[in-house]
Amino acid sequence: MRVAIVGAGVGGLTAAVALRGRGIHADVYEQQSRPAEIGAGVSLGANGMRVLDGLGLGAAVRGVASNLPRIQFRHWRTGGVFHEHPLGDWYERRFGGPFLGVHRADLHRVLLDAYEGKPVLGRRCVGVQEGADGVTAEFADGSRVRADVVVGADGLRSAVRAHVAGADAPVFSGTSCFRGLVPGSDIDGLTFFLGPGRHLVAYPVRGGDFVNFVAYVPDPGRPRESWSARSTPGEAAAAFDGWTATVTSLLGRAGEVGRWALYDREPVRRWSTGRVTLLGDAAHPMLPHAGQGSNQAIEDAAALAACLAAGDDVAAALHRYEQVRKARTRQIQAGSRGNAACFQLPDGPAADERNARLRDLPETAGWIHGYDIGAAVTGP
């Protein structure tokens, strides 16, 4: 079997490594002309890390990441901690893997090394032609690739998604976020500052050498979704005027600041045709408010590899993959949308009610972090 993966992000590369580990030939095609150190921090939970451990990548990821000892929720104006839950050793005993903060570029580098080859760069997919005995991916430079299966791991604006699910448009959330890295800080865990109309999340990466922050604000326009859009530390700090000095100082000390518009898409009725399927953001782009985007792409990769390795009937394997993944990712997508409003309540009864619910977070989020993708694939 020959699999062509469109997109060399976290999901696409994990899928390639997982497929090759099961003896399936997998090639990766990427639209960028060179791998870029894009993005900022990624949180990896036990559900994603157990997959990476199974692929033999756990030690390498741990070596470039920060193991987060706690999760804290702080008041926007005072900076005071109103809830704290353990992560670290407690989390790993509970869920069978660590909770890590890692720079996306570091994770990408680990996956590239594990792929043991280079993605074919400068190949932007523009279409797919499918037949009974194979499928062809077509690229903007006029080149074509023939395979038994094409996997669309090409992100929010996936060309492969259009072949599978038809035309649909990204949904703008009405918000954007400032993202950046700050050298050193007293923030050593996963830290939320919750306040009226906006919130900020921060955690260490690269062994604590840097703190990654994501600061969410309203955005009245409809800017294009882009990982290359830029802002300034001053603009980011000004957007949080009146907040605790911990927040404004963190934002003001950033070296470079990106400003990303936040989009997702409505869930699709189907992910697959007879020889084409979707993975990661191409299948289920989600807002970042559950910290599960990369983890769900990694789960997708493991499930797809297991399903394709289970038999020679490609269409049946892709149908099984879709059955295993669709309901779970849809639920996390919906939760990610709902968390945005929950995290941005003004002081008052609604915020007090939310804060009371956060006391039970280890229990209410356990279904996400304790999930076993291997059992899900082999189950009924």
Structure tokens at 305: 């590899």
Average pLDDT over residues 120-132: 95
Asked, for residue 52, whether it belongs to a domain, the answer is no
Alpha helix (H) residue ranges in 73-218: 88-95, 104-115, 159-165
Question: Which residue range(s) make up the domain with 213?
Answer: 67-101+171-264+345-380
pLDDT tens for 208-256 read: 999 999 999 999 876 766 666 889 999 999 999 999 999 999 999 998 8
Of all residues in the chain, the percent with pLDDT exceeding 90 is: 89
Same domain, 335 and 370: no
Local confidence band at 35 (pLDDT 50, 70, 90 cut-offs): low
The CATH number that applies at residue 218 is 3.30.9.30
Statement: residue 203 has pLDDT above 90: yes
pLDDT of residue 175: 94
Same domain, 87 and 185: yes
pLDDT of residue 220: 84
The CATH number that applies at residue 154 is 3.50.50.60
pLDDT of residue 226: 65
Average pLDDT over residues 95-104: 97
pLDDT of residue 380: 76
Catalytic, out of 29, 91, 115, 203: 203
Local confidence band at 311 (pLDDT 50, 70, 90 cut-offs): confident
CA 322, distance to chain mean position in Å, is 18
Same domain, 177 and 311: no
pLDDT of residue 321: 97
Asked, for residue 185, whether it belongs to a domain, the answer is yes
C-beta separation of 244 from 78 below 8 A: yes
Asked, for residue 155, whether it belongs to a domain, the answer is yes
Average pLDDT over residues 361-374: 95
Same domain, 330 and 272: yes
Statement: residue 37 has pLDDT above 60: no
Domain count, the chain: 2
Q: How many CA atoms lie within 13 A of 288 on its CB side?
A: 23
Quick one: which H or E segment has residue 367?
helix 366-369
Same domain, 28 and 131: yes
Local confidence band at 90 (pLDDT 50, 70, 90 cut-offs): very high
Same domain, 248 and 363: yes
Same domain, 271 and 334: yes
Which is more confidently placed, 287 or 226? 287
Active site residue 203: yes
Statement: residue 36 has pLDDT above 90: no
> Rounded mean pLDDT of the chain?
94
Same domain, 176 and 209: yes
